[in-house]
Amino acid sequence: MNSYNEMELMIVTAARQLDNDSSVGVGTGAPCAAAMLAQRTHAPDILILFEAGGVGPELRRMPISVGDSRTFFHGVRAGTMGDIMEPCARGMVDYTFLGGAQIDMYGNLNSTIAGADHDHPKVRFPGSGGANDYASYCWRTMVMTVHDARRFVPTLDFVTTPGWLTGGDARERAGLPAGTGPYRIITNMAVLGFAEESKRMHVLSINPGHTLEEITENTGFELLWANDLTETPAPTEKELRILRDEIDPARYFIGRG
């Protein structure tokens, strides 16, 4: 059995969601590592886009920001944020990875404030950046996050980024493109998706070493459970070798565990 830590499992699991010949808008850190891993394994023709304007770079090493020069190296385009968001709005970007301080049962995200008073919050977070645009227009939104009740909350303090809004057809009724929306939530405990009709969050697989009870205790709302609930597959030796030796050899993001 391969030895791996939870971040490595999350990155590998995220990478496996990406199809070859697809496009993905990423930030730095774990989402970028997932896209790079997919490109080096089963999806060699995936197109990676960065919010600051880099399109299709040759990623020999992990960038440290979306504006890092490595996000433009041998790329097909070195543009601006507008040059990235335009193809998203045109329906040309298949996947995006996002994060946030809070997420609710419909996949809506808060990355703006903690607390009810916008002018005097308990904590002020960085805000949307390009997350709202990505989630509004990319076909499939994925989130990578730690699984705990402080993040998985019944009501967001602020809706920074739209998920399925209030469920059902609320997203389409709000004017967002039909067929777009949250797809997968990848945590250190589980992989979650969304019920087809209600758009409620449901658990698809449980990560090795975790339990149904543990996931329930660390979620601030009632989860649905897939009928064919499985265990999340562990990383392979090849995936771990590429991740550790080629993508993040300094262990900046995957850690040293």
Domain segments of the chain: what residues?
6-247
pTM: 0.94
Within 8 A by CB and 6+ apart from 219, the residues are 147, 149, 152
pLDDT of residue 1: 53
Q: How far apart are alpha carbons 218 and 107 in whole angstroms?
A: 16
The C-alpha angle 39, 40, 46, rounded to 5 degrees, equals 15
pLDDT of residue 48: 96
The CA radius of gyration of the chain, in Å to the nearest whole number, is 18
Q: Which one-letter amino acid corresponds to residue 70?
A: R
Specify the DSSP element, H or E, that contains 169. none
Which segments within the chain are labelled E, that is strand?
Answer: 23-26, 47-50, 54-55, 77-78, 95-98, 102-103, 109-110, 113-114, 123-124, 140-145, 181-187, 190-194, 201-206, 224-231
pLDDT of residue 65: 87
- 């980024």: which residue's tokens? 161
CATH 3.40.50.1820 fits 6-247, yes or no: no
Half-sphere exposure of 120 (CA within 13 A, CB side): 0
pLDDT of residue 256: 58
51 counts as catalytic: yes
* Stretches in the chain below the pLDDT threshold 50: none
252 to 32, 70, 73, 110, 193: CA distances (angstroms): 12, 16, 21, 25, 28
**Pairing relationship of beta strands 102-103 and 109-110 according to DSSP bridges:** antiparallel
Q: Among 6, 8, 51, 239, which one carries the catalytic annotation?
A: 51
Half-sphere exposure of 48 (CA within 13 A, CB side): 30
Are 62 and 32 in contact, with CB atoms under 8 Å apart? yes
Beta-carbon count within 10 A of 220 CB? 16
pLDDT of residue 28: 84
Sign of the C-alpha dihedral, residues 3, 13, 64, 242?
Answer: positive
Q: Which one-letter amino acid corresponds to residue 131?
A: A
Within 8 A by CB and 6+ apart from 188, the residues are 6, 7, 9, 10, 146, 147, 207, 210
Residue 185's Cα: distance from chain center in Å?
7
